[in-house]
Amino acid sequence: MTGRITSAHQAVEVAERLAAEFAVDAAARDSARKLPHDEVGRLSATGLLGVTVPAEFGGADLLPAQVADIVRRLAVVDPNIAQIPHSHFVYLNLLRLAGTHAQRERYFGQVLEGARIANAQSERGGATIADIATTVRPAGNEFRIDGAKFYCTGSLFADILAVLTRLDDPDGSSGLAPGEYIAFLAADTAGVTIVDDWNGLGQRTTGSGTVAFENVRVSGDQLIARAAATQAPTGYGAFAQLLHVAIDVGIARGALDTAAEFVRTKSRPWFEAGVDKATEDPLVVQRFGELAVAVAAAEATFDAAGRAVDRLVELTTTRAADPQSIAALAGETSIAVATAKITADRAANEVSSALFEVSGTRSAAADLNLDRFWRNARTHTLHDPVRWKYQHIGRSVLGGAPPPLHGVI
């Protein structure tokens, strides 16, 4: 039986309890690449995965910053588990922004009963990641999907797959507008093959394998045009990116806390320091101060970005501003989230690497698996390169140019 979360306060309490439980075996799961089926089951059983469902459909309707805070709390102890529902929340947002009332009623209801959504989005072989070869085409009274997807995070734990497709309908017989569509379909639909072949050096247990589609049949009411969310100032991309920031911020905090505990309990001071404890070594103290500032800066920009996304979502939901003002605010919000992503990227990679620098040789023992922090940070921060975020920020500062609306800023 799936529980129901009714408030942000309750969501935080549940997230904290689960984080304490998940922390116990996090290192062992990573080391053995033991997929967290039980943990993900407990996560959905609490009702946490339904917190973004609108109140109209029986959900808690939490704001983006509140959802991101839940993800951050989980990421401190296990960023793998924190990343698994990323696409779940993103595609629930797509459903909110672009789905019909019947689609929202159907899929929100399934989520409140415990259903989990995973993405089938990224592809290989195109000139860029923006090229989509997977097609959805008319097939009698239905549609047919064919293609292959990679890096499908959470697919091994999913009940529903959100599949990014390109409409292939040259004669217009489907009656659908040209463009990209998300197909919501059961993970066990005939013709769907989910392969556990993710072998990344970090984020090992996210279930980010390959999903293939061969003559997969869906009905028209399973398709949602993506443009309404991604080509309008809705905050869709900003929310998705905010959740990525939450994971990186969580990794940075987890690495700092783990390093501090290791130095307090296991490290020895360098003999030239002339002190009795590693915590009294002035150079170690200095480095911890620097790392703490990096983490605090990441957390502060994350909080600021969350407030910006909340403000945009509230305005677009209530239509409390004119379209021009909303468009301007959407640009500012994306810049705030991009700033947070850059800061979190730096902190996660720096602190997870410096963990060994401040902890000493003992920390490199393989059985401790402390390298998981760096491996997870290095792997997850490859999402949406920050070098392009610097470009958009710079153009905004120098010329007031708004960032593009492609959903990954």
Q: Can you give the residue ranges of every domain in the chain?
A: 8-115, 135-226, 232-399
Does the pTM exceed 0.95? yes
Q: Which CATH number fits domain 232-399: 1.20.140.10, 3.40.50.970, 3.40.50.2300, 1.25.40.10?
A: 1.20.140.10
- Indicate the helix (H) or strand (E) that contains 150: strand 142-152
Q: Which residues are registered as beta bridge partners of 138?
A: 143
Write down the pLDDT at residue 82.
Answer: 98
CB count in 10 Å sphere of residue 203: 27
Please tell me the predicted confidence (pLDDT) of residue 409. 84
Specify the pLDDT at position 4. Answer: 95
In one-letter notation, the amino acid at residue 169 is D
The predicted pLDDT at position 325 comes to 93
Averaged confidence pLDDT in the chain: 97
pLDDT in tens, 62-118: 999 999 999 999 999 999 999 999 999 999 999 999 999 999 999 999 999 999 999
For residue 211, the model assigns a pLDDT of 98
Q: Is 142 helix (H, G, I), strand (E, B) or coil?
A: strand
CATH topology for the 8-115 domain: Butyryl-Coa Dehydrogenase, subunit A; domain 1 (1.10.540)
**pLDDT for the residue numbered 321:** 81
pLDDT at 196: 97
Query: Cα separation of 223 and 134, whole Å?
Result: 14
pLDDT of residue 200: 97
135-226 CATH, one of 1.10.287.890, 3.90.190.20, 2.40.110.10, 3.40.470.10: 2.40.110.10
pLDDT reported for residue 189: 98
* Low-confidence residues of the chain: pLDDT under 70: none
DSSP assignment of 152-208 equals ETTGGG-SEEEEEEEE--TT-TT-PPSSEEEEEEETT-TTEEEE-----SSSTTS--
Cα 256 to Cα 53, 203, 289, 324, 345: the distances in Å are: 34, 18, 11, 43, 14
pLDDT score of 1 = 72
Cβ atoms within 10 Å of 252's Cβ, excluding its own: 32
How far apart, in whole angstroms, are the C-alpha atoms of residue 217 and residue 393?
Answer: 43
Determine how many CB atoms are found less than 10 A away from the CB of residue 130. Answer: 10
β-strands 160-167, 117-120 pairing: parallel
Which three-class secondary structure state does DSSP give residue 210? Answer: strand
